[in-house]
């Protein structure tokens, strides 16, 4: 017993020596560079947003925030790296719409989408726009397109960047809401899908407004409707699906900053506040708009509710599409 007490006393003494340094470290956070994982290769919308945000976040926190690209497996490799990192505030991740879709698409993810992360803040969203090849499709409104699809079931085709991608699920949501049958044509990426849409090999496609605005202005494509609650600044004359009578076609692309579950409260709160500051200002809003991003800052805890809502919408679309990943 005496020996046990001595050991316990020694342990308590060591703890008293260690505790002050731990508190000091938390008080000085961040005291070294912060890693922001982007679960994609260099290039693309998420990487672009990540680099813009990392620079501004570093300025707010007074420490470098550097981007580490960990792409592959539909963003799950980089996302898993965030989940497995130490919950100390020195690893955060910029997760996008794939994160909200993957729980319904993959049967065995290497992380629990809602239990393994602290969702600090949604930082941006983006609406989609449905465009049709102006020569192949006569419709110029949602109602006309629905009538045309009903007259030719499974003959009108819509392209996507691949099965289970957000642009695919926009199409599935529209099909379900309108009660129509469209032919889905998946491609390996948005680039070849847009190329075939312009070339007339497919009839229509959902995409980010910035990626199709020039082709729409030239008359090759015609914008039918946007998925957001409001009209797109790039397509001010194009109604939303809600205006056209289909309010359920409203799922949006999203970007959320997450950290490994279990951040210290002080670190958690400091990051949430810093992200809000980094996203503020008209210059940031203008930069985002150039790539069809809308600044949508939804800090914790509302960020969790927002994410759950979008997950539910995409789960319904995945179920309707029958999409799976082997």
Q: Which CATH number goes with the domain that contains 259?
A: 3.40.190.150
Checking if the pLDDT of 8 tops 80, the result is no
The sign of the CA dihedral 215, 217, 222, 224 is positive
Predicted confidence band of residue 326 (pLDDT cuts 50, 70, 90):
low
Do 39 and 65 belong together in one domain? Answer: yes
Whether residues 208 and 60 fall in one domain: no
Residue 304 in any domain: the answer is yes
**Residue ending a domain, choose from 191, 226, 261:** 226
Do 143 and 100 share a structural domain? Answer: no
Summarize pLDDT for 119-172 with one digit per residue, the tens: 999 999 999 999 999 999 999 999 999 999 999 999 999 999 998 999 999 999
Instruction: Please indicate, yes or no, whether residues 119 and 135 belong to a single structural domain of this protein.
Output: no
Q: What's the residue count for the chain? A: 326
Residue 214 pairs in a beta bridge with none
Name the more confident of 273 and 10.
Answer: 273
Q: Quick one: how far is CA 31 from the chain centroid?
A: 29
How many structural domains are present in the chain?
A: 2
pLDDT digits (tens, 9 = 90+) for 157-196: 999 999 899 999 999 999 999 999 999 999 988 889 999 9
Alpha carbon separation from 174 to 101, 171, 202, 220, 315 (Å, rounded): 17, 5, 17, 22, 14
What lies within 8 Å, CB to CB, of 110 at 6+ separation is 76, 80, 83
Residue of 140, 88, 137, 145 whose CA lies nearest to 267:
88
Which residue in 90, 84, 74, 77 sits closest to 34, CA to CA? 90
pTM here is: 0.85
Average pLDDT over residues 2-7: 36
* Contact indicator for 78, 102 with CB cutoff of 8 Å: no
In a domain, 10, yes or no: no
Closest CA to 180 of 203, 198, 196: 203
Contact 122, 148 (CB under 8 A): no
Q: Which two tokens stand for residue 65?
A: 């925030």
**Confidence band of 111 (pLDDT split at 50, 70, 90):** very high
134 plus 219 within the same structural domain: yes
- Same domain for 210 and 133: yes
Residues 112 and 147 in one domain: no
Residue ranges in the chain assigned as alpha helix (H): 2-27, 45-61, 76-84, 97-105, 142-151, 166-178, 190-199, 209-217, 265-279, 282-290, 302-321
Q: Say yes or no: 42 and 73 in one domain.
A: yes
If you search the block for the tokens 């046990």, which residue do you land on?
A: 4
Residues 49-92 pLDDT 10s: 999 999 999 999 999 999 999 999 989 999 999 999 999 999 99
Same domain flag for 119 and 188: no
Query: Are residues 183 and 150 both part of a single domain?
Result: yes
Verify that 122 and 256 share a domain, yes or no: yes
> Residue 12 pLDDT more than 60?
no
Give me the domain span that covers residue 290.
33-126+252-321
- The percentage of the chain sitting over the pLDDT mark of 70, rounded to a whole number, equals 92
Which CATH number does the domain housing residue 183 bear? 3.40.190.10
- Beta partners for residue 240, in sequence order: 226
Residues 75 and 216 in one domain: no
């Amino acid at each position: 017993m005496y020996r046990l007490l001595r050991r316990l006393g020694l342990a308590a003494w060591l703890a008293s020596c260690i505790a002050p340094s731990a508190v000091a470290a938390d008080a000085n956070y961040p005291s070294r560079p912060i890693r922001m994982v982007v679960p994609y290769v260099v290039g693309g919308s998420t990487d672009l947003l990540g680099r813009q945000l990392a620079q501004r976040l570093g300025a707010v926190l007074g420490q470098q925030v550097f981007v580490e690209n960990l792409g592959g497996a539909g963003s799950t490799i980089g996302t898993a790296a965030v989940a497995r990192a130490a919950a100390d505030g020195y690893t955060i991740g910029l997760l996008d719409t794939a994160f909200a879709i993957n729980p319904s698409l993959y049967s065995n993810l290497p992380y629990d989408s809602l239990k393994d992360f602290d969702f600090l803040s949604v930082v941006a969203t983006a609406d989609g726009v449905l465009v049709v090849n102006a020569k192949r499709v006569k419709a110029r409104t949602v109602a006309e397109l629905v009538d045309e699809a009903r007259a030719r079931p499974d003959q009108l085709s819509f392209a996507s960047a691949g099965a289970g991608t957000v642009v695919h699920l926009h199409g599935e949501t529209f099909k379900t809401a309108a009660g129509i049958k469209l032919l889905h044509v998946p491609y390996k990426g948005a680039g070849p899908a847009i190329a075939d849409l312009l070339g007339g090999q497919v009839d229509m496609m959902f995409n980010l407004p910035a990626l199709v605005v020039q082709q729409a202005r030239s008359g090759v494509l015609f914008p039918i409707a946007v998925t957001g609650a409001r009209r797109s600044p790039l397509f001010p004359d194009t109604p939303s699906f809600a205006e056209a009578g289909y309010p359920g076609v409203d799922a949006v692309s999203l970007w959320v900053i997450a950290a490994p579950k279990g951040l210290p409260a002080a670190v958690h709160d400091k990051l949430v506040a810093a992200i809000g500051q980094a996203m503020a200002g008209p210059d940031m809003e203008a930069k985002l708009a150039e790539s069809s991003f809308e600044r949508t800052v939804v800090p914790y805890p509302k960020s969790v509710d927002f994410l759950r809502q979008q997950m539910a919408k995409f789960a319904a679309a995945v179920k309707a599409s029958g999409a799976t990943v082997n």
